[in-house]
Amino acid sequence: MKITRISAFQIDLPLKEGRYAWSNGNFVEVFDTTIVAVETDAGITGYGEACPLGPAYLPAYAAGVRAGLAQLAPSLIGQDPRQLASINRIMDAAMRGHPYVKSPIDMACWDILGKACGLPIYMLLGGAEQAQVALYRAISQQRPDEMAAKVKAYRNEGYRKFQLKVGGADADEDIARIKACAAMLEAGDILVADANTGWTMHEAARVVNGVRDVDVYIEQPCKSYEECLTIRRRTSLPFVLDEVIDGLPMLLRGLQDGAMDVINLKISKVGGLTKARQIRDLCVAQGVAMTIEDSWGGDIVTAAIAHLARSTPEEFLFSATDFNSYGTKTIAEGAPQRVNGSMTAAERPGLGIAPLAGALGASVLSVGSL
Ligand code: MG
């Protein structure tokens, strides 16, 4: 089987809530996502998606996905998409870094492999460790009372895990946010305060001291790994690392230092499902739980998350994300749908999704044979 054409499509994904805000005043109102279609001479087409959380979150941006794909796609024409290790080595040889550009191609090749052998991707990633995967809901940064009301409302929709966007300009207000939201929870609920690198060390130290008696996880308090490790060593609260865990070398360093209890594993942050699986398996072997998700996305990213999460043992899946429920636009049929705070991966071959007729529009990039 050979790749004959790689096409990309740009789609705007507006938010139901209108705005998603996190640390340092950052926000997004309409997500700019890129869908990739990988066509083959066997008549099978695979789909992938990459959607950065704006340009200020990770070293990734939406137009960069498309620019990178234009650079990368020619090196993949004629390659066998089922040979995921080879595909990844070719991409890494052709372009250093830029994992978020490679992720949708890798995802689409997994979709092709699943369709070619008639199996859902979760089977190819280890099998069904879970029937349903538990989701968290991100609570956009607002006033403490507004965030507490959102926690209550989303709890009524079935979510039991909540990730607060903190890392605001005022540590006192972040402490108030965490306490106000914690007051909405019941036994068994999970609360995470995610600063998204937004605190300086002294602010982080104040917050972890201020909420020391609250049952809350602290996620990525500061920008650098070293700053986070310092705060980790000053708090007894459970600790999550996200932005700085961008591949195996940082995971190995974190394991060596005992720097975290949980990591946030984002598919596009590490370059696709192939590399995310490596990290997932190492975390399972070393006793580190994971939030499995992506930077953002629509139906296709949500399907990929569901397959990786479903093939992860329950005790190591801290949570996952149903990004397609945050937006107003459906782009594919067959994508996971949240029921009572959980979702699952389809039993159909590959990702188990098909783009809706007309949803992709005209391609913005098309590389390959005629
Ligand atoms: Mg995070």
For residue 213, CA distances in Å to 87, 156, 217, 235, 345 come to 49, 25, 12, 11, 37
Q: Which domain holds residue 245?
A: 123-351
Residue ranges of E strands in the chain: 3-14, 20-21, 27-28, 30-40, 45-50, 133-134, 136-139, 161-165, 190-194, 217-219, 239-241, 262-266, 289-293, 317-320, 332-333, 342-343, 354-355, 365-368
Taken in order 214, 217, 222, 224, is the CA torsion positive or negative? positive
264 and 363 housed in the same domain = no
CA of 130 to the centre of ligand 1 (A): 23
The domain spanning residue 230 has which CATH number? 3.20.20.120
218 in Cβ contact with 229 (< 8 Å): no
The domain spanning residue 362 has which CATH number? 3.30.390.10
CA of 162 to the centre of ligand 1 (A): 12
For residue 90, CA distances in Å to 81, 108, 344 come to 11, 15, 32
User: Does residue 9 come out as left (phi exceeding 0), alpha (psi in the -120 to 50 range) or beta?
Assistant: beta
Residues tagged active-site: 165, 266
CA of 242 to the centre of ligand 1 (A): 5
For residue 72, CA distances in Å to 7, 34, 100, 249, 323 come to 12, 15, 12, 24, 27
Per-chain residues with Cβ under 5 A from ion ligand 1 = 194, 242, 264
305 and 334 housed in the same domain = yes
Length of the chain: 370
CA of 158 to the centre of ligand 1 (A): 21
> What's the gap between Cα 139 and its chain centre?
16
Residues 245 and 257: their CA atoms lie apart, in Å, by 13
Which pTM was predicted?
A: 0.97
Phi, psi of 32 (to 5 degrees): -105, 105
109 and 227 housed in the same domain = no
CA of 6 to the centre of ligand 1 (A): 31
CA of 264 to the centre of ligand 1 (A): 6
CA of 141 to the centre of ligand 1 (A): 13
259 and 304 housed in the same domain = yes
168 and 286 housed in the same domain = yes
CA of 195 to the centre of ligand 1 (A): 8
Residue with tokens 């990290």: 279
> Which residue blocks in 31-75 are alpha helix, DSSP H?
62-72
The per-residue pLDDT string of the chain (370 residues; one tens digit each, 9 = 90 and over) reads 999 999 999 999 999 999 999 999 999 999 999 999 999 999 999 999 999 999 999 999 999 999 999 999 999 999 999 999 999 999 999 999 999 999 999 999 999 999 999 999 999 999 999 999 999 999 999 999 999 999 999 999 999 999 999 999 999 999 999 999 999 999 999 999 999 999 999 999 999 999 999 999 999 999 999 999 999 999 999 999 999 999 999 999 999 999 999 999 999 999 999 999 999 999 999 999 999 999 999 999 999 999 999 999 999 999 999 999 999 999 999 999 999 999 999 999 999 999 999 999 999 999 997 5
How many domains is the chain partitioned into structurally?
2
CA of 302 to the centre of ligand 1 (A): 17
71 and 154 housed in the same domain = no
13 and 56 housed in the same domain = yes
The DSSP H or E segment spanning 252 is helix 248-257
Q: Which of 26, 152, 173, 94 is nearest to 367 (CA)?
A: 94
pLDDT at residue 370 in the model: 58
168 and 314 housed in the same domain = yes
pLDDT at residue 369 in the model: 77
CA of 169 to the centre of ligand 1 (A): 18
153 and 261 housed in the same domain = yes
Residue type, 147: M
67 and 210 housed in the same domain = no
First CA to last CA distance, the chain = 17
92 and 130 housed in the same domain = no
Residues 129 and 330: their CA atoms lie apart, in Å, by 28
298 and 243 housed in the same domain = yes
